[in-house]
Chain A
């Protein structure tokens, strides 16, 4: 079982039947798996803040509720998280943060253990799938016992590695929901919040005591010369390289068990603190006056593996060599027939500054499409577009564009588009509507008309929504009509005031909505002049075949189409000046 599958299973075994999330690598499979269990309610919320609020509501009713997100999702959800720490949770509330050291699929590498300390919320951190299953149960038990939200932190390597998991009999589900009125506890106006603030500190003391005897804070005393304090996945890497050293493995990374750490320190001569990313444990342990070796030898950046730990401690790795020559990379690319390719090809002609957003389409920043010039976080494109356009005034007119996917727009683009209408900038926003959340693997969202549980539901109409926000210039286009697309972009950029183009074409990989693939296209070798215009599309199905320079041709070679990859989208045929593709 993967760590993510194990979290879902553990929650189910703990009697949890309520969960909300927004998809994001490496957390996505937790909710997908959880939704398959009998009798559960699981939803994709439009964003992580909503997911946490939904889970808080369920918890206040007395349910055991879970909210799931990737590390940067906690930033979006931070507002309710910091204050639910004050109110407490009545039922139980566990927030899962899946961090991504090495940024396998993220825009930053933030260490969300800081959120635990910042919001005064206890945090557990499993090191493999079996622990993930057990720790989620412990997290719910702690939440119930201490009336506190609890964080469960995973990392990509815990979430996405698989190991053997022993299943247990699920606890029977008991419906404890009821309306409980307790305004002083749940209405966080200053008067009540001041009272709750004191309760938070009292809870902190109790949790610190609890951490001292928490059985998952484990001491393994072996060789007393060297002790290692660690948590999560790095424990496994360290054990692999140094099986005989002594260990203090912390299952709870916040708050820390001071007495236990002092006890461990008194039993070993030298201590290494081994943790990925920030010196979160190290700084706190050093503050206790205990000497440890940490970030002076272990890296701050990227995830570890056993080799990183061996090199840091022993100053050399196992004998290994790299291949001596440069190898051509295989960067991820937009799929053959992807509608984003068609849109960005048309957009490039305008030579505008394009603010991008988070999704498959972010891949278009690479050569040769070079489709975007900034990308910060979910939903940022529209605000940045508006800001740049306003700052540049007349100079920026017709030159600033924002592009955002449908799921990302519904996640956090709506308020900034309302701002664009309200404060009127002369910029263009293009909503890339492929009818799914493609990047994370085709999750439903409010624009799809389906729920996570597979039910048909109300579907957001993007045109009506955009219009209701106050945008007057709205156009819907099909990016595979290349001529019309180029014309629409040019015309909308020339207008005063904000414009929105909704570029509608379903993701080619999404079975429910994808158009039936058409027969593969072919290059007519007689007509191809070797101009390479089609290669500028960076379609995986098109490649260059060197040959002899024909009379009148530009280069010695012609384009070819791999018929096993081509899905007949016709974009290359539309842009070929020599009508060589059919």
Chain B
């Protein structure tokens, strides 16, 4: 952690993966844990299948809602190749949580370029800690593919010094009653992954 003990988390993925919901949950958790927190993302054209990122920064006092290149403590990538797009934000000590699942970009769909190979190996070689999670299949097991974001939050919770019960409370409050247990299960499977 650098400067006034602010911790930087970067969420990255593709529009529609529930990234903004996940980063909202993290904000509420760290806020309830007593930290100052800011987060930032860009709306607008990103809704239409483009890249989505969300920066979450928390600590005693946070000024900037954006993390600086070279300062991210934890990267949570909701899609495998998206982890590579934001490498310039990382430092050697960064911990990376990556969903081991592919969403093909249009060029790959059209057969013009290939999807990058050996992504996990590249990350493992260059960064301190890499947690690869099969979030999509774990979410399916919990009952809904869309809960992959909450699976990744489970993995993230292992890296943050916040009581798991606090997470449970926020996740319970973030979804309608009928989706509550499903998401709690998804969260637990992320913790165990």
Do they bind each other? yes
Question: Which residue of chain B has its CB nearest to the CB of A560?
Answer: B109
Whether B87 lies near A330 (C-beta < 8 A) is no
Knowing A332-B49, A363-B48 touch, does A26 contact B39 (C-beta < 8 A)? no
The stretch from B30-38, B164-172, B176-184, B185-193 touching chain A is: B30-38
Judge whether A157 is part of the interface by a CB distance below 8 angstroms.
Answer: yes
Specify which chain A residues have a CB less than 8 angstroms from the CB of B43 in the assembled complex: 25-26, 105, 160
Whether A161 lies near B48 (C-beta < 8 A) is no
Judge whether B42 is part of the interface by a CB distance below 8 angstroms.
Answer: yes
Specify which chain B residues have a CB less than 8 angstroms from the CB of A306 in the assembled complex: 64, 66-68, 71
Question: Which residue of chain A has its CB nearest to the CB of B57?
Answer: A240
Shortest CB-to-CB span from B107 to chain A, Å, is 4
Whether B70 lies near A163 (C-beta < 8 A) is no
- Bitwise, A302-327 to B at CB < 8 A (1) or not (0) is 00011100100000011111110101
Kindly state the separation between the CA atoms of A236 and B24 in the bound complex, as whole angstroms.
21
Specify which chain B residues have a CB less than 8 angstroms from the CB of A25 in the assembled complex: 43-44
Kindly state the separation between the CA atoms of A554 and B76 in the bound complex, as whole angstroms.
42
Shortest CB-to-CB span from A316 to chain B, Å, is 10
Judge whether B95 is part of the interface by a CB distance below 8 angstroms.
Answer: no
Q: Which of A161, A236, A328, A557 contacts B105 (CB 8 A)?
A: A328
Question: Which residue of chain B has its CB nearest to the CB of A303?
Answer: B66
Specify which chain A residues have a CB less than 8 angstroms from the CB of B6 in the assembled complex: 240
Kindly state the separation between the CA atoms of A305 and B50 in the bound complex, as whole angstroms.
22
Specify which chain B residues have a CB less than 8 angstroms from the CB of A239 in the assembled complex: 63-64
Q: Which of A307, A317, A323, A335 has the most CB of B within 10 A?
A: A323
Specify which chain A residues have a CB less than 8 angstroms from the CB of B113 in the assembled complex: 328
Whether A329 lies near B4 (C-beta < 8 A) is no
Shortest CB-to-CB span from B51 to chain A, Å, is 5
Q: Which of A236, A317, A334, A335 contacts B70 (CB 8 A)?
A: A317
Question: Which residue of chain A has its CB nearest to the CB of B43?
Answer: A160
Specify which chain A residues have a CB less than 8 angstroms from the CB of B105 in the assembled complex: 328-330
Whether A330 lies near B116 (C-beta < 8 A) is no
Kindly state the separation between the CA atoms of A317 and B115 in the bound complex, as whole angstroms.
31
Q: Which of B24, B40, B71, B107 has the most CB of A within 10 A?
A: B40
Knowing A128-B65, A164-B31, A319-B91 touch, does A325 contact B116 (C-beta < 8 A)? yes
Judge whether A172 is part of the interface by a CB distance below 8 angstroms.
Answer: no
Kindly state the separation between the CA atoms of A267 and B31 in the bound complex, as whole angstroms.
37
Whether B38 lies near A320 (C-beta < 8 A) is no
Interface size on B, residues (CB 8 A): 53
Judge whether A162 is part of the interface by a CB distance below 8 angstroms.
Answer: yes
Specify which chain A residues have a CB less than 8 angstroms from the CB of B88 in the assembled complex: 320-323
Judge whether A333 is part of the interface by a CB distance below 8 angstroms.
Answer: yes
Kindly state the separation between the CA atoms of A443 and B188 in the bound complex, as whole angstroms.
38
Q: How large is the interface on A (under 10, 10 to 19, 20 to 34, 35 or more residues)?
A: 35 or more
Specify which chain B residues have a CB less than 8 angstroms from the CB of A543 in the assembled complex: 104, 108-111
Specify which chain A residues have a CB less than 8 angstroms from the CB of B24 in the assembled complex: 162
Specify which chain B residues have a CB less than 8 angstroms from the CB of A164 in the assembled complex: 31, 36-37
Whether A161 lies near B65 (C-beta < 8 A) is yes
Knowing A317-B69, A557-B111 touch, does A330 contact B50 (C-beta < 8 A)? yes
Interface residues in A539-572 (C-beta closer than 8 Å to B):
540, 542-544, 546, 557
Specify which chain A residues have a CB less than 8 angstroms from the CB of B71 in the assembled complex: 306, 318
Whether B69 lies near A318 (C-beta < 8 A) is yes
Whether B40 lies near A162 (C-beta < 8 A) is yes
Kindly state the separation between the CA atoms of A323 and B75 in the bound complex, as whole angstroms.
15
Judge whether A237 is part of the interface by a CB distance below 8 angstroms.
Answer: yes
Question: Which residue of chain B has its CB nearest to the CB of A322?
Answer: B88
Whether A333 lies near B49 (C-beta < 8 A) is yes
Question: Which residue of chain A has its CB nearest to the CB of B56?
Answer: A162
Judge whether A190 is part of the interface by a CB distance below 8 angstroms.
Answer: no
Specify which chain B residues have a CB less than 8 angstroms from the CB of A128 in the assembled complex: 38, 65
Judge whether B135 is part of the interface by a CB distance below 8 angstroms.
Answer: no
Kindly state the separation between the CA atoms of A518 and B60 in the bound complex, as whole angstroms.
52
Judge whether A35 is part of the interface by a CB distance below 8 angstroms.
Answer: no
Whether B69 lies near A307 (C-beta < 8 A) is yes
Shortest CB-to-CB span from B54 to chain A, Å, is 10
Question: Which residue of chain B has its CB nearest to the CB of A555?
Answer: B111
Whether B40 lies near A540 (C-beta < 8 A) is no
Specify which chain B residues have a CB less than 8 angstroms from the CB of A321 in the assembled complex: 87-88
- Bitwise, B71-88 to A at CB < 8 A (1) or not (0) is 100000000010011011
Judge whether A535 is part of the interface by a CB distance below 8 angstroms.
Answer: yes
Question: Which residue of chain B has its CB nearest to the CB of A333?
Answer: B49
Specify which chain B residues have a CB less than 8 angstroms from the CB of A160 in the assembled complex: 40-43
Shortest CB-to-CB span from A276 to chain B, Å, is 12
Question: Which residue of chain A has its CB nearest to the CB of B14?
Answer: A330
Q: Which of A26, A323, A333 contacts B44 (CB 8 A)?
A: A26
Knowing A239-B63, A243-B3 touch, does A162 contact B89 (C-beta < 8 A)? no
Specify which chain B residues have a CB less than 8 angstroms from the CB of A540 in the assembled complex: 49, 106, 109
Shortest CB-to-CB span from B70 to chain A, Å, is 3
Specify which chain A residues have a CB less than 8 angstroms from the CB of B89 in the assembled complex: 320
Question: Which residue of chain A has its CB nearest to the CB of B126?
Answer: A321
Kindly state the separation between the CA atoms of A243 and B63 in the bound complex, as whole angstroms.
10
Q: Which of B15, B64, B69, B88 has the most CB of A within 10 A?
A: B64
Q: Which of A319, A360, A535 contacts B48 (CB 8 A)?
A: A360
Whether B63 lies near A162 (C-beta < 8 A) is no
Question: Which residue of chain A has its CB nearest to the CB of B36?
Answer: A164
Knowing A243-B3, A320-B91, A327-B84 touch, does A105 contact B45 (C-beta < 8 A)? yes
Judge whether A499 is part of the interface by a CB distance below 8 angstroms.
Answer: no
- Bitwise, B84-126 to A at CB < 8 A (1) or not (0) is 1101111100000000000011111111010110000000000
Whether A236 lies near B49 (C-beta < 8 A) is no
Shortest CB-to-CB span from B92 to chain A, Å, is 8
Shortest CB-to-CB span from B39 to chain A, Å, is 5
Shortest CB-to-CB span from A141 to chain B, Å, is 26
Shortest CB-to-CB span from A131 to chain B, Å, is 12
Interface residues in A326-366 (C-beta closer than 8 Å to B):
327-335, 360, 363
Known: A105-B42, A162-B24. 12 other contacts (CB 8 A): A128-B65, A161-B38, A162-B40, A239-B64, A240-B63, A307-B68, A323-B84, A329-B107, A330-B50, A334-B48, A544-B110, A544-B111
Closest 8 CB pairs of A and B: A318-B70, A105-B44, A320-B70, A161-B65, A544-B111, A161-B40, A543-B109, A332-B48
Of the A-B pairs whose beta carbons lie under 8 Å apart in the complex, a sample of 8, sorted by A's number, is A157-B40, A306-B64, A321-B88, A325-B116, A327-B116, A328-B108, A332-B15, A333-B48
Chain A residues with CB under 8 Å of chain B are 25-26, 104-105, 128, 156-157, 160-164, 235-237, 239-241, 243, 305-307, 310, 317-323, 325, 327-335, 360, 363, 440-441, 535, 538, 540, 542-544, 546, 557
